[in-house]
Structure formats: structure tokens, C-alpha cells
Amino acid sequence: MNNGEKQPVTVESLIRLKRIEQPAPEFWAQFNSDLRAKQLAAIVEKPRWWERRSRVYGIFSRHPLALGTAAALAVAVFSVGEYRGTRVSSPVAAGPDEDAYATAAAAAPGPSEAPAALRSSPLQAPARSAIVEARSVPVKSAEESYGRESRPTAAAPIASAAVAPDAARDESMQFERSDRNVVSLGRSFSAMNLAAIQAAEVAHDQFALSKSFESPVSADGGSQAVEPLARMTSPSDERRSRIMGDAVVQTASFEGGTVSPSDHFASRLPDDRVFDSISRYASDSDRLSIRF
């Protein structure tokens, strides 16, 4: 072999030299005997706990699709349940007065007794009382309703419309808290909707009653004689009661227990602004729009 016939030495040819690094034939005799001994030892030896665990994992790895689907379904069902529970247990307008109301309602033996905590919030009191009355007495007079308040406000019906679903949710939460093991989620929702509709009807009746007479309230709660002119309602009052009556029904029926930000905003409006903007209410067949 002369230099002209030599192949160039490359990395590949150098690496391939390692192919011929082979053990001697006698090596395999020793190898076989060692392997046989290890096989016997492996058969006799009890499998360790991690080996047993790896076998269990092997079973899981054989059916990854079915087990993965089952796990995903379980997680989805659990998540939906948790999400619903979170929505029910987190009221939109939770406040200290509502907690006080809930506590008072839980402590009260019957629904006919008005909780003392109701008086702490004059604006929302009519709605609360409406809820309570809806459970006990279907319709009470507006005079009686106003008698509980320190001052009758024109914004009270709006507040009732805004808080009624909230109060209804409180009612449903009371049911859950008092009998948590029994009351189901669907039942609480239906109770909430029913209470909201009843509250809307009560508020509508109050507006209707307020059209017929508006009497000043004495300190002892009784009504005095009213002059005939005072019995006459102004056109604005009549329009207000008509529009707000519709608004209450629509809010209660379509919002399904949720309190929109516009309701909160309306509940904070002073009386004169409500009267000024009452003409900006527009009600369609399925919505109520307020232009400020």
C-alpha cells in the first residue's frame, strides 16, 4: 500500500475504529454465568415498593386516553360545582347591613317579625320589608310601609327594585345557612326568583296605593285627616308611579337576581334628580333604559 492509495482519515473513520473494540470470547462465558446468577436472584428477590408502584403506573400508562378523559371530566365537574358555589356564596352588594340582616333573619323565629337590622338602612328597608311581607302578608299599605322609616323618600321604590333581587339572594342564602345539608342549589335559585317576583309585585302595589292617597305619618304611626287637595296626585307622581311600577317588574323578571350597576347608581340618587330625570326612563318590551 503506497501513499497514493491511502484513504483520508476522517472523524467517521476514527470513530468506527471503536466498532472493533470487542471483548474476548471467554468474556461471554463469564457474562452468562453472572447473568444467570442475577436472574435467579431477581426471581427470588421480593419486588420493592417502588417497583410495585411502577407496575401500577404501567397500568395507567397503558390506557392514558381513557384515564385522562375521566380525570378531565372529574376536574370539569368539580370546577363547575365550585364555580356555582362561588357565585351563590358571593353576593354582589354584600355589606355589613346585609350580614346583619342575615343574622337577624336567622335568629328570627318567623318571617312576620321584622328584624331590627332592617331599620338601619332606610333606603333599602322597604325592599327588605317587602320581602318579609311577601312571605307573610301579600300586600300592605304604603302608609304602613313608610311608617317604619324615619323619612319617606321617593327613591325608595328604586332602591326596592335594586335591592329586591339582592334581598332575595339573601333569603336563599338564609335557607342554605339554616339547612345547608338539605337545600339544593336549584331550590335556592328558584326561591330567589320567586322572592324577586313577589317583591316586584308588592312594590307595584305600593305604587298603586300611593296614587290613591299620600298621607303624612305621625309619630305614633297613625294617620291623620288629609285635606282633599292633598289627596290629589300631581301628574308627575302619577307618571312616576306608572313608569317605576313597570320598571320594577321588568327588573325583577329579567335580571334574575343580579343587581346591575345602574340600579346601585339609581339608589344613590337624590330625590330631586330622580324627579328631574324621570322623563328619561324608557321601557321597551324587554329592557329598561335610563338616560342620565
Residue 12 binds to another protein (criterion: CB under 8 A): yes
Taking alpha carbons only, the member of 168, 196, 195 closest to residue 252 is 196
Taking alpha carbons only, the member of 141, 263, 287 closest to residue 211 is 141
Q: What is the 3-state secondary structure (H, E, C) of 71-135?
A: HHHHHHHHHHHHHHHHHHHCCCCCCHHHHHHHHHHHHCCCCCCCCHHHHHCCCCHHHHHHHHHHH
Residue choice 44, 46, 49, 58 for contact with another protein (CB under 8 A)? 58
**Dihedral-angle region of residue 139 (phi above 0 means left; psi in -120 to 50 means alpha; beta otherwise):** beta
Residue 23 binds to another protein (criterion: CB under 8 A): yes
* Distance in Å, CB of 74 to another protein, minimum: 27
CB 197 within 8 A of CB 126: no
* Distance in Å, CB of 193 to another protein, minimum: 56
User: What distance lies between CA 275 and its chain's CA centroid?
Assistant: 33
For residue 291, what is its C-alpha cell?
A: 338616560
Residue 273 binds to another protein (criterion: CB under 8 A): no
Query: How many angstroms separate the CA atoms of 188 and 176, rounded?
Result: 7
Residue 19 binds to another protein (criterion: CB under 8 A): yes
Query: With respect to another protein, which residue has the nearer C-beta, 58 or 109?
Result: 58
Region from 25-33, 123-131, 216-224, 279-287 binding another protein, contact rule CB under 8 A: 25-33
For residue 38, the number of C-alpha atoms closer than 13 Å in the C-beta half-sphere is 6
* Distance in Å, CB of 71 to another protein, minimum: 22
Q: Report the interhelical angle of 64-89 vs 185-212 (nearest 10°).
A: 30
Residues 27-56 that bind another protein (CB under 8 A): 27-28, 31-32, 34-35, 38-39, 42
CB 93 within 8 A of CB 165: no
Query: With respect to another protein, which residue has the nearer C-beta, 38 or 268?
Result: 38
* Distance in Å, CB of 48 to another protein, minimum: 12
Residue choice 4, 11, 44, 261 for contact with another protein (CB under 8 A)? 11
Query: How many angstroms separate the CA atoms of 6 and 16, rounded?
Result: 17
Residue 110 binds to another protein (criterion: CB under 8 A): no
* Distance in Å, CB of 18 to another protein, minimum: 5
Residue 78 binds to another protein (criterion: CB under 8 A): no
* Distance in Å, CB of 5 to another protein, minimum: 9
Residue 18 binds to another protein (criterion: CB under 8 A): yes
How many residues line the site for another protein (CB under 8 A)?
Answer: 31
* Distance in Å, CB of 21 to another protein, minimum: 4
For residue 142, the number of C-alpha atoms closer than 13 Å in the C-beta half-sphere is 20
* Distance in Å, CB of 11 to another protein, minimum: 5
Residue 74 binds to another protein (criterion: CB under 8 A): no
Query: How many angstroms separate the CA atoms of 116 and 125, rounded?
Result: 10
Residues that bind another protein (CB under 8 A): 1, 3, 6-24, 27-28, 31-32, 34-35, 38-39, 42, 58
